[in-house]
Amino acid sequence: MAGIIERYAKHLPVTEKTPRLTLHEGNTPLIFAPKLSEELDLEVYFKYEGLNPTGSFKDRGMVMAVAKAVEEGSHTIMCASTGNTSAAAAAYAARANLRCIVLIPNNNIALGKLAQAMIYGAEIIAIEGNFDQALKIVRDICEKHPITLVNSVNPYRLEGQKTAAFEICDTLGKAPDVLAIPVGNAGNISAYWKGFKEYYEAGVVDSKPRMFGFEAEGAAALVKGEPIEQPETLATAIRIGNPASWDLALTARDESNGHIDYVTDEEIVEAYRKLASMEGIFAEPASAASLAGLMKMRKLGRIPAGQQVVCVLTGNGLKDPNIALKSVGVDPVVVESTEEAVLGIITQGAGV
């Protein structure tokens, strides 16, 4: 299967000169969830974006941003990021022979999260400041020098990301009734809405879904109506206090007759575990905000029974396995090396 630029060229800002750059992003599975469907009295699917090349939905937007950078003659891309964005930027830069510079704050660097960007060959610079300062420096440098900014203010990012909405419609043969999605920087909910609207306007589908976005309680800027100075949540990928696509997200909500709400960290962890242990899907903690939100909406009666719902899972669980370990929270039972000892544990049903 070709990548998104080739498959969706006529719906994207690509020209004959746009390189058909790809790591075979997109074409991610839409996984039906039989048990959660029954439990919630809905028809539930998961759009599992963790199976993109670098493990998150960011690849869709980044392949567009990097391809356009190449088309425009750029030789260097730059972003401020400590997570999924830097991995995607570094991978596509490697593929396209561009230099990739990643700015990170020096406080609390989790090197594990940067392993991907580093192995893809990005140059990492840590500043003695916070994330906002890193982003400001990146923006200032990219304004004055021939370096392409690939943070989410780059408009090609949302263009690429909207292709996930196309894929959902292509797979189902129609738009779902409801799209449930985690909200951090609010770019993804905006991109999906753009994609659904464009497919509707092009006559590919004859309806649009209601958009339900879910922030983490400790980073619920949209729900609370004001930026959060010190956002806090274990779902690091949506730990954002001042979403860049604030207005677009509210537009998606209002135009679609949808809703934006928050979920607690406890609800996120519960959904995260259910997803893995009931349906066999291991996603990033932040991804589980979509399922956590859906469960909350059903309890509150905001989504009627019988509806077809697609929950977006934005990233692969392997990005952050420590949360899995902490959430399970027990060490394995240790027994002597005999058949009898092992059978004893199995019969008690007392394994971990």
Annotated binding site for pyridoxal 5'-phosphate: 84, 184-188, 314
- How far is the first Cα of the chain from the last one, in angstroms, to the nearest whole number? 40
Size of residue set near a second copy by CB under 8 A: 82
Q: Is 352 in the site for a second copy (CB under 8 A)?
A: yes
C-alpha 339/C-alpha 43 separation (Å) is 44
Q: Is 300 in the site for a second copy (CB under 8 A)?
A: no
Q: Which stretch binds a second copy (CB under 8 A): 227-235, 258-266, 295-303, 319-327?
A: 319-327
Q: Is 121 in the site for a second copy (CB under 8 A)?
A: yes
Q: Is 108 in the site for a second copy (CB under 8 A)?
A: no
Which of 17/35 has CB closer to a second copy? 35
Q: Which stretch binds a second copy (CB under 8 A): 151-159, 210-218, 255-263, 322-330?
A: 322-330
Site string for a second copy, 172-211 (x = CB under 8 A): ----------------------------------------
Say which amino acid occupies 58.
K
**Would you call 30 helix, strand, or coil by DSSP?**
strand
| Residue 145 near residue 4 (C-beta atoms within 8 A) | no
DSSP symbol at 283: B
Q: Is 124 in the site for a second copy (CB under 8 A)?
A: yes
Of 119, 20, 29, 11, nearest to 68 by C-alpha is 20
| Residue 304 near residue 40 (C-beta atoms within 8 A) | no
Judged by CB under 8 A, the residue of 123, 198, 265, 270 near a second copy is 123
Which of 278/300 has CB closer to a second copy? 278
Judged by CB under 8 A, the residue of 13, 17, 24, 300 near a second copy is 24
Q: What are phi and psi of 135, to 5 degrees?
A: -65, -40
Would you tell me the crossing angle of helices 163-172 and 187-201 to the nearest 10 degrees? 50
The least CB distance from residue 10 to a second copy, in Å, is: 22
Q: Is 223 in the site for a second copy (CB under 8 A)?
A: no
C-alpha 166/C-alpha 11 separation (Å) is 10
Q: Is 19 in the site for a second copy (CB under 8 A)?
A: no
C-alpha 5/C-alpha 12 separation (Å) is 7
Q: Is 282 in the site for a second copy (CB under 8 A)?
A: yes
Q: Is 54 in the site for a second copy (CB under 8 A)?
A: yes
DSSP symbol at 146: S
Say which amino acid occupies 254.
D
Which of 119/300 has CB closer to a second copy? 119
Q: Is 118 in the site for a second copy (CB under 8 A)?
A: yes
Query: What does the DSSP assignment read for 202-226?
Result: TTS-S--PEEEEEEEGGG-HHHHTS
The least CB distance from residue 337 to a second copy, in Å, is: 3
The least CB distance from residue 156 to a second copy, in Å, is: 18
The least CB distance from residue 212 to a second copy, in Å, is: 24
| Residue 263 near residue 216 (C-beta atoms within 8 A) | yes
Contacts of 155 (CB under 8 A, 6+ apart): none
Which of 305/334 has CB closer to a second copy? 334
